[in-house]
Chain A
């Protein structure tokens, strides 16, 4: 019941946001809100393995970038030469988003299959290394803009909607985010989700119960990669741009910060964390170029003072158990 209330409050806030932005004459807030939603999807996807599964990946930005480049490359080839001579380009969102998720999932399968054979610090470093390899690969990919990134001439089309309209684009993003979180809710509370939580707490015990840890962790890693890929594809639509910077390790760090800010291993924490992070970045960056310094101080206060992030603090203030 409490979760339902939290979901209703968050949904009401996100529905109200574009109307408030319209009323105060700051339509850029709509894009900010839409980006909050995409980063909420990315952070929640990472939280599936980090918070629920106990796997600290420091390379999830790779999937964010892959998702963005799938949209960019498909748009680049739309109406022109097919990709690799046989894959036609498209700017239809109903195709680009699922393809972005599938490609991100396949990349996650390869990275996960290799990196999950390690654990602890090695796992962190290997995921980081893979992401940086992809970063430098796209930097050197001059056909698609290289270091400068790839400009997407227009936002993906969907059901004939006017996707140039910010309000439309915002609500499309919101609907996709709601669908994503409904699916994520089911996964977290499924039989699979229970096994994943068990593996985080005690992998040795789970193995002694006959659970092949590697297989379950790999499935979670792939699902997580697909979610982050979806977020990257949405971000590419919002910015009409895909860049190697989207898969830089700093972006992976941002996702982890969002999770810590909101609450590790909680369902709504990454949404709150992503929103807080984007708001802080938006306002602090307008105030000083040294905004990461202030963000760092805020992160310290949150980690040391809230016991469970902003989400945990809200939960305690409203009388719940974190």
Chain B
């Protein structure tokens, strides 16, 4: 199976702190690859390096075989990268429909048109309405984002990321702050997307990780200490020692 994402020796330093320390891993086509690690391990820094928000100090990032290390975020998005944020990052003053519509429009293009009628663009709104109808936000299209619950905002994050039709989706703690029911629904939704594109899933919720991940990489103090299947990770003494302490189960 070929790799959609190849990371080699990726480093990010903030002054004297090395947030990611020669990280090397790959995400295969169609794979759900989980990235776990304790708080401060460098997971979110790595996500921000991958999407281009942070410039890497060393190493290379290849997306579908192309070196994108020096490319800006917008180029990477154009090549099929999508992302969600740990803390939902949405257009708070707009409705759900407007958010999704803008995400679809950004993907479809013709964004520099100065004199068209945006609300009359069928290529945008038909797609946006269909995405909302198929999601957990069905019937909430006209609701202002600021009036959504935390779980609904996480749902909207996912829909907006999917609107970009990604080849690789970076999911930064999609279960964070969700209740049991909402987490389960998110797991089912992500599971239903398996095989349609690749996912790099950063997550603390180990039930979600074990339920979804084909492979898991463990990041500790900015370094990948192990990559393997859920079974291999579970049984690794090294992971147990480094991640949670020897007495606890991973």
Contacts and interface: CB of A to CB of B under 8 A. Distances in A.
A205 B77 contact: no
A186 B163 CA distance: 26
A191 B103 contact: no
Most A CB contacts (10 A, CB to CB) among B102, B116, B164 go to B102
Interface in B76-108: 77-78, 83, 85, 89-94, 101-103, 105-107
Contacts of B106: 195, 206, 209-211
Interchain residue pairs A-B with the least CB separation, the first 3: A210-B77, A209-B106, A201-B91
Interface stretch (B21-29, B117-125, B200-208): B117-125
Given A202-B89, A210-B106, A216-B112, 15 more contacts: A183-B115, A186-B114, A187-B115, A191-B111, A191-B112, A191-B113, A192-B111, A195-B106, A208-B83, A208-B85, A209-B103, A211-B106, A211-B111, A219-B112, A223-B114
A117 B105 CA distance: 25
Interface in B58-90: 72-74, 77-78, 83, 85, 89-90
Contacts of A191: 105, 110-113, 116, 118, 121
Contacts of A202: 89-92
Nearest to A205: B89
A198 B91 CA distance: 7
B107 A209 contact: yes
A198 to B, nearest CB: 5
B73 A207 contact: yes
B35 interface: no
Nearest to A223: B114
Interface in B23-42: none
28 contacts: A183-B115, A186-B117, A189-B117, A190-B114, A191-B116, A191-B118, A191-B121, A192-B113, A194-B101, A194-B102, A194-B118, A195-B105, A198-B91, A198-B94, A202-B92, A205-B85, A205-B90, A205-B91, A205-B160, A206-B106, A207-B74, A208-B77, A209-B103, A209-B164, A210-B78, A211-B111, A219-B112, A223-B114
Contacts, number: 91
A273 interface: no
Nearest to B124: A191
A193 interface: yes
Contacts of B116: 190-191
A135 B163 CA distance: 48
Contact of B164 (A189, A193, A197, A210): A210
Size bracket, chain A contacts: 20 to 34
Nearest to A219: B112
A183 B114 CA distance: 9
Interface residues of B, number: 35
A305 interface: no
A257 B65 CA distance: 53
B222 to A, nearest CB: 23
A245 B187 CA distance: 63
B43 to A, nearest CB: 17
Contacts of B85: 204-205, 208
B218 interface: no
Contacts of A190: 113-118
Given A189-B118, A189-B119, A194-B118, A208 B112 contact: no
B51 interface: yes
A189 B163 CA distance: 21
Interface of B: 51, 53, 72-74, 77-78, 83, 85, 89-94, 101-103, 105-107, 110-119, 121, 160, 163-164
Contacts of A88: none
B113 A208 contact: no
Nearest to A193: B118
A82 interface: no
A206 B102 CA distance: 9
Interface string A203-225: 01111111110001001000100
A189 B85 CA distance: 28
B119 A201 contact: no
Nearest to B77: A210
Contact of A186 (B51, B93, B115): B115
Nearest to B94: A201
Contacts of A193: 118
Contacts of A212: 72, 74
Contacts of A207: 53, 73-74
Contacts of B103: 209
Most B CB contacts (10 A, CB to CB) among A190, A193, A202, A223 go to A190
Most A CB contacts (10 A, CB to CB) among B53, B111, B119 go to B111
Contacts of A186: 114-115, 117
Nearest to A212: B74
A302 B94 CA distance: 25
Contacts of A204: 53, 85, 89
B111 A195 contact: yes
Contacts of B163: 209
Contacts of A201: 91-94
A209 B160 CA distance: 8
